Structure 1
């Protein structure tokens, strides 16, 4: 049988089933999907491939899913470090956004972020930012899968003048993109402290009607939860907390809140490095997992991380969870890998499409070269990927069968042009605010 691509790999880690490692197998790609996974000798006899990749030192894992990003803010990387969240936002980020956040800013910042993510094995992201139509366009152009949030915030910005226009523009964009195979458009109200009850009620109703997820920062800091009524209680009362709800951060949780959230079927996106850098608190990940909550993984924006490195995020998530739980078995390597892949797909409502190397799913694949001295000797490929490997060992990435990173070279972005654009933004953003 004629097929598009056949990849022979030393290890294939499908993620589903959990903790399974296949050795000396081949993965077959045809028409953008995974057609088969079988022993290499059988694959060579059964299939004639247009392209054969022999990755004898590599592990194939599902493409990583960065379940919470602000891609355009990559242009703010390192611009106001070592500050608490509200000071960082109010005195630095929001004034810069007011002056500079326009279509060109979002386009170039998104390109920079997509380049970084593809080079680190990420094949899907879940974004929340202004000018989502630009983010979606760049994702389509560069061949990466995306959930592009329909932003909502109470105050005016360069994109919309208030809740009514945010909704109007968001719904129009959803309608425009509904047939794009790589793009989904969840609602993305910013946070309980920046969106009033009425817009949230409208979003809740529309999300039910359109079968769309809702992606929102929740319980990010102690300050947020100490301002009267607990935000989670309010969101429960407004009807938002349900299986389509994605709560990002969740660093301030009581045991009763964990239990009630688990009963709702809603999802958490854990952003350990951003939370650590902003001193926002610790999500009790193992408690949440033990309660039955689906916990995914995100980097947050590169302005507060300061990278979009999902391999690094997996390591931090596993190590931090052990410290918080005071239990060395908390968030194992295999669990961290699940959080960065299938759990992210479940949170975004696309686990029927991606998140595991499963026959019939999209060929969203990351290849990691484990032959480097830094990952030797190798006893368990999953542990080595989570605890020892770096993103610089990612050699190849496919999204829906498209080879977006080939032998460390991006195939859909021009690095030289991108670097020139970023240098211009660095000069602009370094100038004093007036």
Structure 2
């Protein structure tokens, strides 16, 4: 298998498969670094050369830095991380965070640096007033930042305004066959490409929903497929077919995922989609649309909830009720909310709205949590939650 590469704005060759580091396997609340090391190094040895992390991904920058240091392979890869601009109030604040990221990552430069979740032009204008343009210019001149970009969750029209607002080196968008016409969408993808701006793809499998949480009717389509295509293979193939796509990030957390995704990235490229592929994508898309209750990708930007609600977990179970069966969804919900040291039930929501300010999918979280609680928190659930609470007191 030979990894395929596509060039960025400056002629760098980036592997079409990138490693999204947000979803490392956790152990005791922290990244299982030994397991992650095996998976990351297997990917790098197979030709993956783009690793993506972020300041706000708990423990991930430090884990990535440790893995690269252990294996002396910093120069073999392009490293991407992100500035949480929404947490800073000055250039000095940005500098402090940037220095912390360098320490975590055990490096003295970042290849691809992103304004994290930059979703509208007024926010960029505000950052300019703080002096961020001069700060970026200085960092690029010193070589501490090699390429500057932004990650985006918002409407296509605002995305295009942001593309034109600055001389970006690259950008990152959520894009998959279910989001072809939402967020930046195919229109934004092509707009950026036409202006020579490389596009990095995140959420190609919608947080795994296009694989693990497919409705039974969609799973049956794959089970009956004479060409034996897998859900992940088809979703990634759909992306690699498009010349505007530079790199597709996958949050791989098993050796099997690494091996499968490397194989797909090696086999498929521009023009690879057949009429049969397109027909299957459309059929699966229709089945998913019939069953999805909440369009949550599980990114976790809505967290932490001031009242302790596990928002992504609730929506995952809520969707599972309709894609995998009510019994399965409710059982999972009991386990992920009531069996915790601190309960995380949807009914704990007090409607403060903090979560909605940060949701990339613009979900009406408060309304959906209320609906989810109504279906997930049955009489049996309430009884079990109370019983578990009593046991904790003993």
Same fold by TM-score, threshold 0.5 exceeded? no
More helix by share: 2
Bigger relative CO (Cα 8 Å, ≥ 6 apart): 1
More strand by share: 1
